[in-house]
Amino acid sequence: MSNNSIIKVENLKRTFIVGSEEVHALKGVSFEIFQGEFVSIMGSSGSGKSTLLNILGCLDQPTSGEYLIDGISVKERTKNELSEIRNRKIGFVFQSYNLLPRTTALENVELPLIYNSDISHRERHERAQHALEMVGLKDRMLHMPNQLSGGQQQRVAIARALVNDPVIVLADEATGNLDTRTSYEIMSLFQSLHEQGKTIAFVTHESDIAIFTNRTIFLRDGHILRDEPVATKSALEALKALPVENDY
């Protein structure tokens, strides 16, 4: 693990105005994520983890505080500059996959590269194929989302997050819609991606999922409660240990 800082937040605050009331979602959060880390961000609902994820994903701007992604300050960037950062630096994985319906897996994976005019049609195609190979869906490239299982759809979404070779993959409850077995399969995939050197931030509220990561940041009421390394469990082994009747 190198000491290259991918994400650095310092005293991050985010305040929403709801009606006449000010809601402090983040009340000063500081941490750093280094290259090659597999971090889970945990917290119950209302802890501010969604707000944090939105800011980390450059979908939202902090009210105050500093946020650097890959050494670039996000402060006072225009919307278009933020779009470009999202396009080049970040890979998103969502809870509900968010694949385009009636569009092949390959085309879904190609999507982020379409918004990067430096990449040719041919290169886009090759990179999307490669990303699908990485998630083990080489033989399903031309399937439509409705012809794929939930786990396979999430794999397509992960391939889409990898295709632009981002500095960090942000996963938002990526196993939230999946059963235990499939969740473990997806976590196993994340672990193998991590082994290949990918930096991953995984937002979840399930501690039995966070256990597959290397480090956990606990949020509560807009503050960091704990930030500690995890005694990582292998998802592959957890999968093997699953009782057969759990296999539905």
Partner 1 sequence: MDILNLTRISAKALLRNKTRSALSMLGIVIGIAAVIAVVNLGEGLKQSTANQLSDMGTNLIMVMRANQRRGGVSMGSSNVQSLKVRDAEMIAKNAKNITMVSPVVNSGGQVVNGSKNWSGTVYGGSTDYLQIRKYEIATGVNFTEEDVKKYAKVGLIGQTIVENLFGENEDPIGKTIRVGNMPFKVIGTLKEKGENTMGMDQDDIIIMPYSTVQKRILGVDFIHQIVCSAASEDVADAAVEEVENILRVAHKIPTGGTNDFEVRTQQELLEMMTSMTGMITTVLIAIALISLLVGCIGIMNIMYVTVTERTKEIGLRMSIGAKNSAILLQFLTESIILSLIGGVLGLVLGVALSYVVDLIMSLPFIVNVLWMIISFVSCAVLGLIAGFFPALKASRTDPINALRYE
Binding footprint of partner 1 on the chain (CB under 8 A): 54, 57, 59-60, 79-80, 83-84, 86-88, 92, 94, 98, 100-103, 107, 111-112, 114-117, 160, 164
Nearer to partner 1, 45 or 80 (CB): 80
Q: What is the dihedral of CA 72, 75, 79, 82, to 10 degrees?
A: 20
Nearer to partner 1, 144 or 211 (CB): 144
Nearer to partner 1, 118 or 228 (CB): 118
Nearer to partner 1, 89 or 215 (CB): 89
How far apart CA 155 and CA 60 sit, in angstroms, is: 26
The residue among 138, 222, 212, 220 whose CA lies nearest residue 174 is 212
Nearer to partner 1, 86 or 215 (CB): 86
CA distances from 20 to 14, 17, 36, 60, 218 (A): 16, 7, 43, 21, 30
The minimum distance between CB 242 and partner 1, in angstroms, equals 31
**Angle (nearest 5°) at CA 117 between 124 and 37:** 65
Q: Where are the alpha helices (DSSP H) in the chain?
A: 49-56, 79-89, 105-114, 121-134, 150-162, 180-195, 207-210, 235-241
The minimum distance between CB 101 and partner 1, in angstroms, equals 7
Terminal-to-terminal C-alpha distance of the chain: 38
The minimum distance between CB 79 and partner 1, in angstroms, equals 6
The minimum distance between CB 107 and partner 1, in angstroms, equals 7
Q: Tell me the one-letter amino acid at 22.
A: E
How far apart CA 210 and CA 178 sit, in angstroms, is: 15
Nearer to partner 1, 46 or 229 (CB): 46
The minimum distance between CB 162 and partner 1, in angstroms, equals 12
The minimum distance between CB 195 and partner 1, in angstroms, equals 25
